[in-house]
């Protein structure tokens, strides 16, 4: 693998109080590739994802050791501006969580909080990102209706559009399809294929088939440890460890 490394976790340990949630994780994330994090519930994959944009900072009594390097800079360096970091590392959540605002204002939100007020620029960007998220045709006549009136799948694509509007470099997705039906899931997966041309994508999923379909690299986590990581086709056809093969064949999880 001689692709460009966008982000790296190096010897990362993470604690919730006394609980050692991530144990010595080292993992590279490559530019314009999809990395899937899989593993049973509570294995630490979501915790790792939330370390990558420091969303865990909001939780009291946590401790992080080790480094996460983004383009050569440690994001846990005390001088890092967390707000600026989160603009570069966008996030899509498990449940669709559009704001109780209009479709348009949801997508425009990230631009507005980052100080962009140019109306023409904002509407242009909103249309562009909604098109990228394959949602434009469905919502172009209801841009100024509440986003809460959209279907679950549409809401999740809106959340992806909202995250893309600020043009982050990395897109973190925390089980983005777990609340969606199979058709909506398929649309999101197609979207992920499109988006990796522009973004580096890191996705947590419980769905083995999904990880196999969308990811280039897959990492298997178990009890806070990264058991193995490899190209997705290797992980799903010739895993090195029995724990991995047991999990992906559904023997536990």
Binding region for other proteins (CB under 8 A): 53, 55, 58, 60, 83-84, 86-87, 90-91, 93, 95, 97, 99-101, 109-110, 112-114, 146, 148-149, 159, 162-163, 166
CA 185, CA 105: separation in Å to the nearest integer? 24
Q: How far is the CB of 84 from other proteins (least distance, A)?
A: 7
Q: Are 13 and 64 in contact (CB under 8 A)?
A: yes
The nearer residue to other proteins, 37 or 147, going by C-beta atoms, is 147
Q: Which is nearer to other proteins, 78 or 100 (CB)?
A: 100
Helix (H) or strand (E) holding 14: strand 5-16
Q: How far is the CB of 89 from other proteins (least distance, A)?
A: 8
Q: End-to-end alpha-carbon separation of the chain, Å?
A: 30
Task: Look at phi and psi of residue 116 and say left if phi exceeds 0, alpha if psi is from -120 to 50, else beta.
Answer: beta
User: Which residue, 37 or 227, is less far from other proteins as judged by CB?
Assistant: 37
| CA 2 from centre of chain | 23
Backbone angles phi, psi at 203, to 5 degrees: -125, 135
Which one, 6 or 213, has the nearer CB to other proteins?
6
Least distance from C-beta 104 to other proteins, angstroms?
14
Shortest distance, position 125 Cβ to other proteins, whole Å: 13
């Amino acid at each position: 693998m001689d692709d460009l490394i966008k982000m790296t976790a190096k010897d990362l340990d993470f604690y919730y109080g006394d609980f050692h949630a991530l144990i010595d994780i080292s993992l590279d994330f490559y530019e314009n590739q999809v990395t899937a994090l899989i593993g049973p519930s509570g294995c630490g994959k979501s915790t790792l994802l939330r370390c990558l944009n420091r969303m865990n900072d909001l939780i009291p009594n946590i401790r992080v050791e080790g480094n996460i390097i983004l383009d050569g800079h440690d994001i846990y360096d005390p001088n890092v501006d967390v707000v600026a970091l989160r603009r570069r590392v966008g996030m899509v959540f498990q449940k669709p969580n559009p704001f109780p605002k209009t479709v348009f204002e949801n997508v425009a939100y990230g631009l507005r909080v980052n100080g962009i007020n140019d109306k023409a620029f904002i509407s242009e960007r909103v249309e562009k990102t909604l098109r990228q998220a394959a949602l434009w045709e469905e919502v172009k006549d209801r841009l100024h209706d509440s986003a809460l009136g959209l279907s679950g799948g549409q809401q999740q694509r809106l959340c992806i559009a909202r995250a893309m509007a600020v043009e982050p470099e990395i897109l973190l997705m925390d089980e983005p399809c777990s609340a969606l039906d199979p058709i909506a899931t398929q649309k999101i997966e197609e979207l992920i294929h499109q988006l990796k041309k522009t973004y580096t994508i890191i996705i947590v999923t419980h769905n083995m088939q999904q990880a196999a379909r969308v990811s280039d690299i897959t990492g298997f986590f178990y009890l806070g440890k990264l058991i193995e990581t490899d190209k997705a086709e290797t992980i799903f056809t010739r895993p090195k460890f029995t724990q991995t093969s047991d999990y992906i064949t559904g023997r536990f999880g």
